[in-house]
Chains A and B, each alone.
Chain A
Amino acid sequence: METAPKETTNATILLMGLRRGGKSSICKVVFHNMQPLDTLYLESTTKPISEQFSSLIDLSVMELPGQLNYFEPTYDSERLFASVGALVYVIDSQDEYLNALTNLSMIIEYAYKVNPKIHIEVLIHKIDGLSEDYRIDAQRDIMQRTGDELLDLGLEGVQVSFYLTSIFDHSIYEAFSRIVQKLVPELPSLENMLDNLVAHSCIDKVFLFDVNSKIYVATDSSPVDIQTYEVCAEFIDITIDLDDLYVDGDGREAKSSEIRSTSYLANGSVLYLKQMIRGLALVALIRSDTENEKMDELLTVIDHNVGLFKKSLMKMWASAKFQTQD
């Protein structure tokens, strides 16, 4: 049994928003692999729900029911806000959002007072129903109004990030990846390591994925192309699904060796996956500008480099654990 040290679990995400904004759906889709269409049948959430995820960091997501009033004295909201790392506020972009914005600025004011280090993230959600032009308009409008409200409250220094999301495409994963990354204290060194890997291995793009949720914990510093992300995320699914088909009935626990998979594409690039520690997987897209002959040798080099990366990842995690125990 690991004893969860209270102070160090700063990697808590608080999911808030008005009712019917889509908070539970987000949770189910991202962390439980639920089909987006099935979320139509979710019941309204009545109690705060908290969930634990053991990825590179021990992430926990707490979802609050929308209809609750957090400023009732009975509710211990002060302790709540003090303990979380990020506050995610979900705005339903298909609904009238003025109410939500007032609610948001109230929450920000309160949360910021309690915990000035909190990250405030706003999901402009359900944009799948809006046309392209209108999405930009909605985002601009919401950003403008939030800024004004915060100015009125005298809180112009607060950093608020905005994301356009929908559960019907990968935008929600992208947004959550960004949010989670802000909570990983080792992120700069991770990125540095990945950059090193990219520089020495002809890799186009590399992601460090959490296998269960398809959130990427880190990537190299080149810009993220959403298509590459989608392909890499699906590559994990395909690898794992195929692998599971040939597991003997009860051999579940005996996952002895790590999964590694490669796939040559017709344009000469290669998709590469290797399992890392703690439910993470490294997925890379390897460039095609080298000759095909050399690709086999290149893969051997990459194997070696990725092996080194994994070793340092293990070291890093061990020392991170050591620090938290202090």
Chain B
Amino acid sequence: MSQSSRKKLLLMGRSGSGKSSMRSIIFSNYSAFDTRRLGATIDVEHSHLRFLGNMTLNLWDCGGQDVFMDNYFTSQKDHIFKMVQVLIHVFDVESKSINKDIEIFVRALTNLQKFSPDAKIFVLLHKMDLVQIDKREELFAIMMEKLQKISNPFQFKLVGFSTSIWDESLYKAWSSIVCSLIPNMSLFNSNLLKFNQVLDAEEIILFEKSTFLVISSTASIQKQLQKQHASELAGSTESLDPKRFEKISNIIKTYKQSISKLRTNFQNLVIRGSNGSHFYIDVLTDNLFIMIVLKDKSSQESCQTTREDFVILDNIKAARRWFEKIESGK
């Protein structure tokens, strides 16, 4: 277990493209504003992050200046590129020398193919906030097409995201990166669905505790199912904000930080919303947070009391046992 649960992630890209900023925001609770203080990364900065209990992410943040880069591809290449699970390559959208960027990407792919051909490749087009809103999509499509063409000879399938540290797109990208590493995802999903049968909730979302990245949610499971049986009615196409997961991650993280001013942590959050929706955010296991959204289907002025909140919270407590079991790898 200890072998497979260690994941090596390479974070590469030219200097100044925002690699360390991302890492600090997602894993070290920096705010986007704080990242200005970060200096250049010297050589490789390792960080070991425990994620979901038994999974350890070894994040290799590779400094992007040419001197270091050359080193990675020559003298250190077997050290760097061995046993890599994930390569996260960051492109600065404002970069002047795209050809140089791509050249380095190609060199990284070449080495990866040699040393760890099973690695997953993620491409992040970063600093998207500097591009005009109406041009973002187009630019992203062009860039991804180009990169995919380049990486075709290496037989890697690219997954791309456009990101910015100033909005929630960063959480979206990292949440799918990290989710691709979780082995027992299907177990999580099936249990979440079961739990939803009990609660009949509008939506249930699972978050990792320290980073607040989205692990799983009922909506995304349903989407997957719909893809499998494409014939099934696509009735429940939602009118909800498609970016809501990332926004929630962002909001809760802000909340966590603001609570830390009182030198404590938060345990749960219950909101009785304005039009019949109720929110419950609670600790599920040592590593997971759960968010449940309920909606009053009956429009009648229900005289709920705090009692009902306790029922939900008790349900969460009861579900705790199941999810702890999945987590421990059994």
CB of A307 to closest CB in B, whole Å:
12
Any B CB within 8 A of the CB of A199: no
Kindly state whether residue A238 has any CB partner on chain B within 8 Å: yes
Assess the A259–B247 pair: CB atoms within 8 A: no
Contacts of A227 in B (CB 8 A): 261-262
Distance from A282 Cβ to chain B, minimum over Cβ atoms (Å): 14
A125, B292: Cα distance in complex, Å: 44
Cα of A241 to Cα of B273 in the assembled complex, Å:
11
Interface-facing stretch out of A1-9, A127-135, A262-270? A262-270
Question: How many CB-defined contacts (below 8 Å) exist between A and B?
Answer: 109
**Most chain A CB inside 10 Å of its own CB: which residue of B259, B261, B271, B295:** B271
In the assembled complex, which residues on chain B have CB atoms less than 8 Å from the CB atom of A246?
A: 202-203, 240, 244, 273, 277, 279, 293, 295
Interface segment out of the listed B101-109, B120-128, B248-256? B248-256
Shortest Cβ distance from B245 into chain A, in angstroms? Answer: 10
B190 at the interface (CB under 8 A from A): no
| Cα distance, A241 to B249, chains bound together (Å) | 12
Closest to B255 in A: A238
| A296 CA to B270 CA, complexed, in Å | 13
The contact of B241 among A245, A254, A263, A303, by CB within 8 Å, is: A245
Residue of chain B at shortest CB distance from A268:
B264
Within 8 Å of chain B (Cβ to Cβ): is A239? yes
Contacts of B267 in A (CB 8 A): 263-266
Name A274's closest neighbour in chain B (CB-CB): B272
Q: How far is the CB of B295 from chain A (nearest CB, A)?
A: 8
Asked if B315 CB lies within 8 Å of chain A CBs, one says: no
Docked Cα-Cα span, A264 to B264, in Å, equals 11
Tell me if B4 counts as interface (CB < 8 A to partner A).
no
Verify B266–A266 contact, CB threshold 8 A: yes
**Do A257 and B259 touch (CB < 8 A)?**
no
What is the CA–CA distance of A228 and B258 in the complex, to the nearest angstrom?
A: 10
Does chain A have a CB within 8 A of B328?
Answer: no
Pairwise interchain contact A243-B254, C-beta atoms closer than 8 A: no
Please tell me if A300 contacts chain B, counting CB pairs below 8 Å: yes
Residues of A close to B244: CB separation below 8 A = 245-246
B residues 264-291 in Cβ contact with A at 8 Å: 264-277, 279
The answer on a CB contact under 8 Å between B265 and A239 is no
Q: Find out whether the CB atom of B248 lies under 8 angstroms from the CB atom of A245.
A: yes
Q: Is A260 an interface residue, CB under 8 A from the partner? A: yes
* Interface flag for A242 (CB, 8 Å): yes
Measured between C-beta atoms, what is the minimum distance from A149 to chain B in Å? 39
Q: Which of B259, B266, B277 contacts A243 (CB 8 A)?
A: B277
- With contacts A247-B274, A259-B274, A264-B268 taken as known, whether A242 is within 8 angstroms of B248 at the C-beta atoms is yes
- B274 near A238 with CB under 8 A, answer no
Q: Are B310 and A296 in contact (CB under 8 A)?
A: yes
Asked if A50 CB lies within 8 Å of chain B CBs, one says no
B258–A260 CB distance below 8 A? no
Whether A299 pairs with B306 at a CB distance below 8 angstroms is yes
B239 at interface (Cβ–Cβ under 8 A)?
Answer: yes
B204 to chain A, nearest CB (A): 13
Asked if A258 is at the interface (CB within 8 A of a chain B CB), the reply is yes
A144 at the interface (CB under 8 A from B): no
Task: Name the segment of A19-27, A67-75, A103-111, A229-237 touching the other chain.
Answer: A229-237
* A251-B266 contact in complex given A227-B261, A230-B261, A241-B247, C-beta closer than 8 Å: no
Q: Is the CB–CB distance between B264 and A260 below 8 Å?
A: no
Q: Within the complex, what minimum Cβ distance (angstroms) separates B155 from chain A?
A: 40
Does A261 sit within 8 A of B, measured CB to CB? yes
Q: Could you list some 15 contacts between A and B, CB below 8 A?
A: A228-B262, A231-B259, A238-B251, A238-B255, A242-B248, A246-B203, A246-B277, A247-B274, A247-B277, A257-B272, A262-B269, A264-B267, A265-B259, A265-B267, A303-B306
Which 7 pairs from chain A and chain B are nearest by CB? A261-B271, A266-B265, A267-B264, A234-B258, A263-B269, A255-B274, A264-B267
Residue numbers of A with Cβ under 8 A of B are 227-228, 230-231, 234-235, 237-239, 241-243, 245-249, 251, 254-267, 269, 296, 299-300, 303
